[in-house]
Structure 1
Amino acid sequence: MTLTHSGVAPASTLFGRGAFGRLERELLDLGFEPVTATEDTITVFRSDEIAAGGGESTTFEVVFDRRPCMATATIIPGGARESCGPRITLTSQVPAVTQIVALYGALNPDPVAAVESIACTYQLKPWSEGAVKSS
């Protein structure tokens, strides 16, 4: 197994299998990078620099626990780990489509942006093209 500069195997060798395979591939497509990996867990991270508003930084972390009979994916938006803020924990029984909806709900506080992201993921006609009208 090849290691990256951080000592973690490349995402392409860690992701895309098991109950969270679809969610893992989506995170990879969105630019999330593995920051820690053990036999049972993988933590991925992404930091977004927001140009407007003074270059604010928003972080997102997802922790996959792959222990048999206990598999979970925990989505930790914007610094919630430090503040014990809200997080979304999905079990391996949650359908892949629900995992994707939860991810985009956490990433996009604007409901229109969340729905458009989900529509794009599933290659549906985007909301902004008039499929659904926002109020």
Structure 2
Amino acid sequence: MSWVAKECLSPPASNSGDIVREISYKLNGPFPNIPKGLVGIESRLKNIFELLEPKSDDIRVIGICGMGGIGKTTIAEIVLNNLRHSYEGSCFLANVRAVCGKNNGAVASQQKLLSEVLKDTSLTIPSILE
């Protein structure tokens, strides 16, 4: 496959991050990698990827809710794994309710989030209020 980048990029792609995101989106297509064997998840993922289209400069937040066992965590992991390359930092916090319910769980979750997003493992968070 070969093509000239300037013919594929839309005019707003001004900095290198925008260019990388747009080329990646064009190469991967609108429907990124999805693990095989998942039933009934493709249409939900397609809707989420359309809402999170990387060409947008808007801030987007999506809530995934529903009964236990219907694939919320699986969907969130697939979305993150397909889009994390488009951002400077990312983090996946699983089982937040269970983890935060344990002793110092909220502090541990906060530390993991900040350490992974900021790529700084030396961060120390003494309490949830800090």
Calculate the TM-score normalised by the size of structure 2. 0.29
Query: Which structure ranks higher in relative contact order (CA pairs < 8 Å, sequence separation ≥ 6)?
Result: 2
The structure having more radius of gyration, on CA atoms, is 2
Higher strand share: 1
